[in-house]
Structure 1
């Protein structure tokens, strides 16, 4: 059997993950079977198992791949000199754009990932590690806001970062379930809340 090149392997893995995301979106992560993923990817079972060890491997890889891409998307935004409400609008807008794919929505699938984290410690540690890293970026941003006077000088920066992270993750939940939110309105609501607290 000829050796598979790294580029070909990555392309095939991406094809399989795309098929898995479509299945997860339609059926849910736990209800999706390997047979459904194999059929969606238009591959034989033997070919599929050359790239992934099984469904749990696909789930972990799908979550890891998505989080890596989101991290690359959000890091430069958080590093920019943006006011709190503007930062939330930009982050939520980019998450929304990133999430919408042909045949599925990654934000909705993310909630399945959160559910997986309750039953699979490896998945929980993966997601927890990503959110801790993102929170540290938010802490650094809050420290800069504090130096600029946008955050109270006596505020606990970690507490502010946690609240900000909750606002962003809450947008993902509302986008997936309520389906009646938009980034600009979310930012205006936060700006009004911040203004009322002064």
Structure 2
């Protein structure tokens, strides 16, 4: 029997995850059945269950993959001396994350933002998924803390504020930008970058004489 290559296995896993992501983004987690995923991925039950035991495994894998990519990007940025300013860094990482999933669309619009909203909603029902998401964001926050510490060491950012607070705020900015899109419509990453630049440019008001 011919041995299946790792490249083939990786491609099949990608096919399954992309199919599941489309189904979840289109109809939500509970309204999607494994049969829907099989149909979307155009694979047999045996082929899918070889990789994933069910919907919970699929959504956990999707979440872990995205947050892992983001964490690695910020960890790499923290190694630069100094890192790119926040507007450029956030724009670069978010653009890369969105571009990797640009082919996944629902009704002509990107599926990724809709999927993210579905995942957040599901964490209210699923303690296991909530833990997966919490652990993933904690790892992203740790990477951001190192970036902030590098900013402070380079004199680019106030050193009297906790890096953890800055990291949480930057993550919230990205989350909010992504969550807005299903409601307000797609917006380019430059919108977020411009907003961050404007906030970064503010100075304390001068005391009136």
Same fold (TM over 0.5): yes
Give the CA deviation at 1:127: 1.1
The answer for unaligned runs of 5 or more in structure 2 is 205-209
C-alpha contact (below 8 Å) 1:116/1:123 kept by paired residues = yes
Corresponding residue number in structure 2 for 1:31: 31
Equivalent residue, structure 1, for 2:207: none
Contact 2:113 2:178 in 1 (8 A): yes
Give the aligned length: 197
Are the equivalent residues in 1 in contact too, given 2:66–2:97 (CA < 8 A)? no
Question: 2:114 maps to which residue?
Answer: 108
Instruction: Please identify runs of 4+ aligned residues in structure 1 that moved more than 4 A.
Output: 2-6
Change (3 A) 1:197 1:170: farther
TM-score, with structure 1 as normaliser = 0.84
Deviation of the 1:69 alpha carbon: 3.4
Q: Distance between the aligned counterparts of 1:89 and 1:177, measured in 2?
A: 21
Task: Say whether residues 1:156 and 2:162 are aligned partners.
Answer: yes
Residues 78, 111 of structure 1: CA spacing in aligned structure 2 closer, same or farther, 3 A cutoff? farther
Which of 188, 199, 204 is residue 193 of structure 1 equivalent to?
199
In structure 2, relative to structure 1, the CA distance for the partners of 1:3 and 1:54 (3 Å cut) is: farther
CA distance in 2, matches of 1:99, 1:79: 26
| Structure 1 gaps, min length 5 | none
Q: CA RMSD in A?
A: 2.5
Displacement of 1:56: 2.0
1:1-198 → structure 2 map (5 Å cutoff): 5=4, 7=6, 8-80=8-80, 81-103=83-105, 105-198=111-204
CA distance in 1, matches of 2:18, 2:197: 37
The normalised TM-score by structure 2 is 0.80
Which structure has more relative contact order (CA 8 Å, sep 6+)? It is: 2
- Larger helix fraction of residues: 1
Contact 1:91-1:168 at 8 Å conserved across structures:
no
TM-superposed deviation, 1:172: 1.4
* Equivalent residues of 2:67, 2:137 under 8 A apart: no
8 Å Cα contact 1:17-1:58 kept in structure 2: yes
Give the conservation status (yes or no) of the 8 Å contact 2:104–2:112. Answer: no
